[in-house]
A and B are shown apart, each in its own frame.
Chain A
Amino acid sequence: MTTWEGLLFGISFVTQPEVLIYCLLGVVLGTFVGVLPGIGAMAAISLLLPITYYITAEAALIMLAGVYYGAQYGGAVASILLRLPGTPQSAVTTLDGYPMAQNGRAGVALFTAMVSSFTGSMIGILVLVVLAGWLSRAATAFGAADYAAMMILGLVAASTIGSSRPAKGFAMVTLGLLLGCIGTDVNSGAQRFTFGRTEFLDGINLVALAMGLFGVAEVIANVRNPDRQGVAERIGLKRLMPSRDDLRRMAFPTLRGSALGSFFGALPGTGSTLSSFLSYSMERRLARQPERFGKGAVEGVAGPESANNSAAITAFAPTLTLGIPGDPIMALMLGALVIHGIQPGPMMLEARPEMFWGLVASFGIGNLLLLVLNLPLIGIWVSMLRIPFNYLYPAILVFLCLGVYSVRGLTFDIVAVAGIGLAGYLLAIAKFSPALLLLGFVLGPLIETNLRRAFLISRGDPMVFLERPIAAGFVIATVALLLLPLWQAWRRRGAGARQ
């Protein structure tokens, strides 16, 4: 199937009414949770996971993906109007978006965010199509050692990049890997850490883990949060259209942001949050008047917004073609596919074309829907910011419990969610990243299987990780990432000694 045939096939798949409805539902729901600070895409996707049992795998993935990139749009709305980032990816947008709103240019800021997000997504789609084809061809050369090395690189990158305390990140990844061991061992059939309870035979339920760590923990943290009690003011959107000067200022930052985001989105371990931060600092460095940044520069909204959206799209490339999720949200998507009995990997492009091309086409159509829907709907989103959290969270809790219950019909799982929720809340308080735990949990069984297979093939010779060029490349990159913080610390100490 050529790219054109694939895209046409995908478009014809997505424009089926019931698929289109799930796509629409996903993007609207995504915008909703993106606008509401406190409930991120992570919590929303974990809440929706059990509901996807009732629909086909393709529709489920399209809907969950819609929630993911829809939340990026919604996050910008809350960042600009309230200086409350609805999602971590849109935190940077508060820096210049909120000052713009204070200068009476909220409409222009929102317009800029929407158009840049759209452009970023479209460029991301182009990159995804090219990259996925290339990756799935390259993946036939991948052996067990290469897979294991690449996943380890992804985990190391996720826990070191953009983190001030890498040790805490590594600890969470390791704990996640360890939790992934619970259950029946695939290779030997041995029961590990089940303590004789049949509920643990299949391991910890991914839905219960994700909902406890994100849903319950976020609800607890927000119950008494004064920012969440409906404080939104009315915002007039009379002047939505940007001036010619604004358009000129946003063009290149949007293109640069899209390129940056597309690149970092596809790398394992670096997600859209990092891309939006990098884009902001790049624009400030390139600007002729950097002093305008932080006071309402259009470039500071356009760059990061295009970067986080393009990264959100290209992040699907390694997930779908190699079966390796680059960030925790992708790990959740991978989990959703596995629940439906689909193992993403190099064969997916050929074995399930409707899945891959349908998803690609749904990105385009979903983003178009967002652009068309959201400009007129902004008033509704803004008024939603006035719903006090008092009224929302009890319903969220009940839905969460029923969602977990629906997976296996065991009340044991609901009680487990309470326990996991407590752990998640404590982790959040102590500033340990539950997202990294989840990433380790999903990747754990894959890494273990590939490591064991690699050693089996090499007859126990660890040199297999250095003799194969692909694995060696990943190992070198991993070591470089591990040495980087040490080298930086050493240089800082050296500079301090000289002074």
Chain B
Amino acid sequence: MRRDWPDIFGGVILAAIGVGAALWAAMYYDIGTLRRMGPGAFPVVLGCALFVLGMVIAVPAMGRTAAAPKVEPAAAVAVLAAIVIFALCLSRLGLAGATAAAVLVATLPAPRKGWVWRVVLAAVVTVLTVLVFSVGLRMTLPVWPRLS
């Protein structure tokens, strides 16, 4: 048991987002009057509300203990990296290349060890993806890497 860090951090971050949004909206957007509300009115009210709620979450959590949450940093990094790699590779490596790269990266944290199944899975998913999206749904995307 330890301090309830998820609620403390979560509350503080939400409160910060609230203050930031309210100040930004108050500075740059017209608040208007109650009769004719400007584009700034709603965000300012919401930002203030979010600040109060964040504090209501964070302050009581400071004196409270909670079980540590289960975090999977390796899984998170690999999955998010796979998505970003897919986005970056799509125009250069084509659909096939981007899919294979994404699958190889995404499977890194999987509990099953070895490389053979990873390569086979990448090939299978790539074929499936090209068939479904390029052949089936006729999505206009380059399939193969650009050589030039």
Point out residues on A near B: beta carbons under 8 Å.
Answer: 51, 54, 165, 167-168, 170-171, 174-175, 177-178, 181, 185, 187-188, 190, 192-193, 216, 219-221, 223-224, 226, 229, 388, 390-391, 393-395, 397-402, 405-406, 411, 414-415, 417-418, 421-422, 425, 427, 429-432, 448, 451-452, 455-456, 459-460, 462
Contact = CB atoms under 8 A, between A and B. Distances in A.
A103 B53 CA distance: 48
B14 A415 contact: no
A187 B39 contact: yes
Most buried by B among A220, A405, A429, A455: A220
B139 interface: yes
Given A221-B72, A401-B86, A178 B47 contact: yes
A452 B33 CA distance: 10
B112 A398 contact: no
Interface string B99-134: 100110011011110000100011001001100110
B139 to A, nearest CB: 6
B35 interface: yes
Contacts of A459: 35
A402 B129 contact: yes
A422 to B, nearest CB: 6
Contact of B91 (A216, A219, A411, A448): A411
A216 B86 CA distance: 14
B83 A430 contact: no
Nearest to A50: B137
B30 A181 contact: no
Contacts of A417: 83
B46 A190 contact: no
Contacts of A456: 35-36
B54 A430 contact: no
B79 interface: yes
B84 A415 contact: yes
A30 B33 CA distance: 48
Given A415-B87, A429-B69, A430-B69, A174 B53 contact: yes
Contacts of A405: 90
A448 B46 CA distance: 11
29 contacts: A167-B57, A171-B11, A174-B49, A174-B50, A177-B42, A178-B17, A178-B47, A187-B39, A219-B79, A224-B75, A390-B110, A390-B117, A390-B121, A395-B103, A397-B103, A398-B102, A399-B129, A411-B87, A415-B83, A421-B80, A421-B83, A422-B76, A425-B76, A429-B69, A429-B71, A431-B69, A432-B10, A452-B37, A456-B35
B84 A418 contact: yes
A170 B53 CA distance: 7
Contacts of B76: 220, 422, 425
A399 B37 CA distance: 42
Nearest to B90: A411
B83 A223 contact: no
Contacts of A429: 6, 69-71
Contact of B50 (A175, A397, A411): A175
Contact of B121 (A394, A432, A451): A394
Say what secondary structure dominates the interface of chain A: helix
Contacts of A226: 111
B125 A431 contact: no
Contacts of A165: 57
Given A193-B43, A216-B83, 7 more contacts: A171-B57, A223-B75, A394-B125, A398-B103, A406-B139, A448-B42, A460-B33
Interface in B8-25: 9-11, 14, 17-18, 21, 24-25
B21 A178 contact: yes
B122 to A, nearest CB: 8
Contacts of A430: 6-7, 9-10, 69
Contacts of A411: 87-88, 90-91
B146 to A, nearest CB: 15
Most buried by A among B36, B39, B70, B112: B39
Contacts of A51: 137
B7 to A, nearest CB: 7
B1 interface: no
Contacts of B112: 388, 390
Nearest to B128: A395
Nearest to B89: A411
A140 B118 CA distance: 59
Interface in B46-95: 46-47, 49-50, 53-54, 56-57, 69-72, 74-76, 78-80, 82-84, 86-88, 90-91
A455 to B, nearest CB: 6
A431 B10 CA distance: 10
A422 B76 CA distance: 7
A474 to B, nearest CB: 19
Contact of B35 (A54, A220, A388, A455): A455
Contact of A401 (B9, B35, B72, B102): B102
Nearest to B74: A224
B144 interface: no
Contact of B42 (A181, A216, A229, A427): A181
Contact of B83 (A185, A395, A414, A460): A414
A223 B46 contact: no
B147 interface: no
Nearest to B100: A398
Given A174-B50, A411-B88, A223 B110 contact: yes
B34 A177 contact: no
A159 to B, nearest CB: 10
Contact of B75 (A220, A400, A415): A220
Contacts of A216: 79-80, 83
A418 to B, nearest CB: 4
Contacts of B106: 393-394, 397
